[in-house]
C-alpha cells in the first residue's frame, strides 16, 4: 500500500503465519485462515510481502496464496524472501548456513514454493559472509535463475555499511522504530547510496503496543509510523500482524501518519 505523499509503502512481514514470534508469542493460524488473511491484505491494497525459509510455514503458505492469483494480480505483487537462515521442523528452531551449497539449495526451494522471487535478501548477515566467495557465487546463481534484485537483512552497523557501499545490493532491510534507533546511521547511509529500504519491526515486535495503553492503540500506531516516515526514505515499512483487524488498524494509522 503506497501513500501518495511519500515514496514509502506499507508491506506485510509474514513470520507470524509461519511460526511463533514477537513480544508476546501466539500460536500460528490454521492454513486456510492464513490464506484468507493474505487475500484480505491484498484486497486492502497490500502488495509487498516479505517472507523467508526461516519463517517456518510462511513461504509455503504464501506460495499457495500466490497460485490463487491471476497473472495480472501476481504481477502487481512484490515477493521478497531470504536465504542463509533455515527452519528445523523437528526442533522448531532456526539455524544459519551461509555455504554456497546451502544458499543455492535455498534459492531452488524458495523458487519451487513461490514461483518467482522479486527480491532475494541475505539472512543473518555478517561481515564475514558479505566478503565471502560463497555469497558472490550464490548471487551469480540467483541471477541465472532470474532473480535480479539482491539485498541483505542487517542487524549491525559494520555489515550495514558494507551493504550500503556495495553495488551488489540494491535493497537493505533493518529494524528501526521509536524504541530502537541503533541503526539510524545505516538508514541515513542507505538513503545516501540510493538503496531501497525495508524497515521492519515498526512496533518493536509488539512491545510498543503492549507497553502502551491499548485504549489509545490507534494513536500509538500512528505515532509509531510517523516516527519512521520522518526519515523520508525510499522503501517499505513492514507490519508483522496476522490479524485482518490489526492490519486494517495499521493501514489506517499508516495513512494518518502522513496527514500532518
Query: What pLDDT does 132 receive?
Result: 98
Over range 166-171, report the average pLDDT.
Answer: 97
Q: Give the whole-number percent of the chain exceeding pLDDT 90.
A: 86
Over range 116-131, report the average pLDDT.
Answer: 98
Condensed to tens digits (0 to 9), the pLDDT of residues 143-157 reads: 999 999 999 999 999
* Confidence at 20, pLDDT banded by 50, 70, 90: confident
Q: How far apart are CA 38 and CA 17, in angstroms?
A: 10
List the end-to-end C-alpha distance of the chain, in Å, as a whole number: 19
The grid cell for 13 is 512481514
The grid cell for 27 is 500460536
Condensed to tens digits (0 to 9), the pLDDT of residues 183-196 reads: 999 999 999 999 99
Phi, psi of 165 (to 5 degrees): -100, 5
User: Does pLDDT of 212 surpass 60?
Assistant: no
- What torsion, rounded to 10 degrees, do the Cα atoms 235, 241, 246, 251 define? 10
* Confidence at 208, pLDDT banded by 50, 70, 90: confident
Q: What is the domain partition of the chain in residue ranges?
A: 8-243
Query: What pLDDT does 1 receive?
Result: 47
* Confidence at 217, pLDDT banded by 50, 70, 90: confident
CB 197 within 8 A of CB 191: yes
* Confidence at 21, pLDDT banded by 50, 70, 90: low
Query: What pLDDT does 86 receive?
Result: 97
Let me know if domain 8-243 sits in CATH 3.20.20.100: yes
User: Does pLDDT of 82 surpass 60?
Assistant: yes
Cβ neighbours of residue 58 under 8 Å, at least 6 residues apart?
Answer: 14, 15, 17, 18, 19, 51, 52
Is the overall model pTM greater than 0.85, yes or no? yes
Query: What pLDDT does 22 receive?
Result: 57
Q: State the Cα angle at 114 between 112 and 119, rounded to 5°.
A: 115
Cβ neighbours of residue 134 under 8 Å, at least 6 residues apart?
Answer: 98, 99, 100, 103
Nearest to residue 54, comparing CAs of 141, 125, 158? 125
CB 150 within 8 A of CB 168: yes
User: Does pLDDT of 245 surpass 80?
Assistant: yes
Amino acid at each position: 500500500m503506497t501513500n501518495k505523499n511519500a515514496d514509502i509503502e506499507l508491506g506485510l512481514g509474514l513470520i507470524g503465519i509461519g511460526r511463533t514470534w514477537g513480544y508476546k508469542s501466539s500460536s500460528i493460524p490454521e492454513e486456510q485462515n492464513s490464506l484468507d488473511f493474505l487475500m484480505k491484505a491484498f484486497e486492502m491494497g497490500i502488495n509487498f510481502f516479505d517472507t523467508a525459509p526461516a519463517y517456518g510455514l510462511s513461504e509455503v503458505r504464501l506460495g499457495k496464496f500466490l497460485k490463487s492469483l491471476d497473472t495480472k494480480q501476481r504481477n502487481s505483487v512484490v515477493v521478497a524472501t531470504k536465504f542463509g537462515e533455515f527452519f528445523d521442523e523437528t526442533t522448531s528452531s532456526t539455524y544459519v548456513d551461509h555455504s554456497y551449497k546451502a544458499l543455492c539449495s535455498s534459492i531452488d526451494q524458495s523458487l519451487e514454493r513461490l514461483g518467482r522471487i522479486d527480491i532475494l535478501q541475505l539472512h543473518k548477515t555478517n561481515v564475514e559472509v558479505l566478503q565471502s566467495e560463497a555469497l558472490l557465487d550464490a548471487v551469480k546463481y540467483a541471477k541465472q535463475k532470474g532473480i535480479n534484485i539482491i539485498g541483505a537483512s542487517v542487524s549491525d552497523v559494520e555489515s550495514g555499511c558494507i551493504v550500503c557501499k556495495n553495488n551488489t545490493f540494491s535493497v537493505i532491510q533493518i529494524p528501526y522504530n521509536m524504541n530502537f534507533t541503533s541503526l539510524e546511521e545505516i538508514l541515513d547511509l542507505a538513503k545516501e547510496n540510493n538503496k531501497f529500504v525495508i524497515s521492519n519491526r515498526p512496533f518493536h515486535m509488539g512491545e510498543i503496543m503492549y507497553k502502551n495503553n491499548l485504549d489509545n492503540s490507534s494513536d500509538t500506531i500512528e505515532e509509531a509510523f510517523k516516527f519512521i516516515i520522518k526519515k523520508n526514505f525510499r522503501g517499505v515499512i513492514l507490519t508483522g500482524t496476522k490479524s485482518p483487524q490489526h492490519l486494517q488498524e495499521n493501514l489506517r494509522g499508516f495513512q494518518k501518519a502522513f496527514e500532518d
